[in-house]
Structure 1
Amino acid sequence: MSTYPLRAEWTKFTTLRSLWTTPLVAVALSAGITAAVQFAYGRTDTSLTEDPMEGLYFGLNFGQVAVVCLGILLIGQEYASGTLAGSLAAVPDRTRFYRGKLLLGAALGLAVGLLTVAGQLAATAATVGLDLTAPGTWRALAAGVLYHPLLLVLCLALTTVLRNQTAALGLLSPLIFLGTTALTAIPGVREIAQFLPDRAGLYATRLHDAPEVHYGHSTGLLLMTLWTAIAVAAGQYALHRHDV
């Protein structure tokens, strides 16, 4: 595959302030909130210490909203501004164009994941400490890193399906931030909600098993990967199916 689409997407990313500042916000929110909460409550709040990863990833509950927004903006801005037609004129092969978007999104998500988890790990180690030799710790840390690119690509692909930045921001941001969490609190609905992509991905970041969850931690990350793959395929279909 030619690197031209990827270079073009990188140029767009680095020249639009709303794009390159969003991953910085994601890292700052996740690591900063984790540091503040661990410093203030890490030694007294048992909900943060029973499973050490609950405290370490506390800030991710907020920082992931910026990751969602970044995934939406990477292609949603072109739908909103009407510049998608120009982009496709420059790269007529829609598959190559879409792959360029996905590759940049995955790379950005991985970078955000590495920086975020490193910051959260440093904050936790400096405040309440963390036993890196405990079973499952490195698996949970790796899952935290991979959660970011999977979530970002998922939202990018779903925005391509919706073909509307406003609709994607209005639907996906509140759904990931509060919606799926609320669904897991409703008896009867939680049995289904636990299989949603963000719920499954976040479960992979935990150390301890939850009796009400019907799959293992590693399976949770595989479920999120499957959701992302389906969304990517749907996005490619929508991009080829509809005119811009």
Structure 2
Amino acid sequence: MTARTVTAEPATARPSRAESTGAMTTAAAHVPVRSLTARTRTARALHAEWTKFATLRSQWTTPLIALALSVGGTAAVQAAYGTEDHSLIDDPSVGIFYGLNFGQVALACFGILLFGQEYASGTIRGSLAAVPDRARLYAAKLALGAGVGLLVGVLTTAGSFLASAHTENLGLGSPEALRAMVAGVLYHPLLIVICLGATAVLRNLTAAMGLITPTVFLGTPLLSAVPGVRELVQFLPDRAGQHALRYQPEAGFHFGHWTGLLVMALWAALATWAGLRSLRRHDA
């Protein structure tokens, strides 16, 4: 009987589960991941802020109230006093921007609401989760506030001049009138930026409303009547900004019109820096 010889073929080693998983992980690591660019992230942050502004009634109605108070207040005063009474006023800008005394309160409220409303409702956590880069979120809010303020400033200034055309000697071709127009437009976004930055520092809607709004509406006018304090009041942001609106230099001011606008811009820069610093240092 002949014995059969069986030749065994070498067995192919099957990869273990760990080796298979490691190979898949290595392969996945080489798959290119499409990351968002900084421009795309910024655009999305801006779009999110615009969506909040367009859908929250308290936000989009507040600038409209500011516009109505400013232009409506000026028109009411011009209609009530008439041409003869206004001839006694040396500076036409007093009547032109009279309504701004009321409209700026609503404007300040808008700047406060842009940040304060999120702290009050707790949605600031969701905003930071969607936009982890706090500087980008802050910049998006500033851009929205300044953009809306610029638009309101254009409409308010144009409306105030039109409402005063039949009673005031506007002198539209004069350098004083052109400067007042430019200052009137820029005053609005600067005030919003200041209020937004201050609210980011306070991180509380009630505190911001209780401190900023009375200061704008009552604090500066009352302090202007106090001897000894009057010299310092001219450097407050709203007072310095309103000085830039005037045709003629105001008594007691130690700087010119454009310098007044620069002082207000410096306040806006300071508030922006302080707000960003607070947002980065504190948890939501």
Please report the TM-score for the alignment, with normalisation by the length of structure 1.
0.97
Q: Is the 8 A contact 2:109 2:209 kept in 1?
A: yes
Distance 2:279 2:65 in 1: 29
Match status 1:150 vs 2:190 = yes
Give ranges in structure 1 of 5+ residues lacking alignment: none
1:134 Cα shift?
3.0
How far 1:45 sits from its partner (Å)?
3.3
Identity over the aligned pairs, expressed in percent? 61
Gaps of 5+ in 2: 1-38
Aligned match for 2:103, one of 63, 69, 74 = 63
Paired residues in the alignment total 244
Residue-by-residue CA offset, 1:48-78 (whole Å, 9 max, x unaligned) = 7310001000000000001000000011100
Q: What is the one-letter code of the residue matched to 2:255?
A: Y
Please report how far the alpha carbon of residue 144 of structure 1 lies from its aligned counterpart in structure 2 after TM superposition. Answer: 0.6
CA distance in 2, matches of 1:38, 1:107: 29
Q: Structure 1 residue 222 and structure 2 residue 265: aligned?
A: no
Q: Which residue of 1 aligns with 2:216?
A: 176
In the TM superposition, 1:64-83 aligns within 5 A as 64-83=104-123
CA contact (8 A) 1:6 1:101 kept: yes
By percentage of residues, which structure has more helix?
1
Q: Cα RMSD (Å) of the superposition?
A: 1.3
Using the size of structure 2 for normalisation, the TM-score is: 0.84
Among 149, 155, 162, the alignment partner of 1:115 is: 155
State the Cα deviation string for residues 84-133 of structure 1 (Å, max 9, x = none): 00100000000000000000000000011001011101101134352212
Which fold has the larger relative contact order, with Cα–Cα distance below 8 Å and residues 6 or more apart in sequence? 1
Q: 2:168 aligns with which of 121, 125, 128?
A: 128
Contact between 2:86 and 2:167, CA under 8 Å: does it hold in 1?
no
- Distance, in Å, in 1 between the alignment partners of 2:87 and 2:206 is 36
The correspondence of residues 1-244 of structure 1 with structure 2, limited to 5 A, is 1=39, 2-46=42-86, 49-244=89-284
Larger Cα-atom Rg:
2
Inter-partner Cα distance in structure 2 for 1:229 and 1:32? 31
Q: Find the aligned partners of 1:115 and 1:177 in 2 and give their Cα distance.
A: 21
Pairwise CA distance, 1:42: 3.9
Cα offset, 1:181, TM superposition: 1.1
Per-residue deviation, 1:18: 0.5
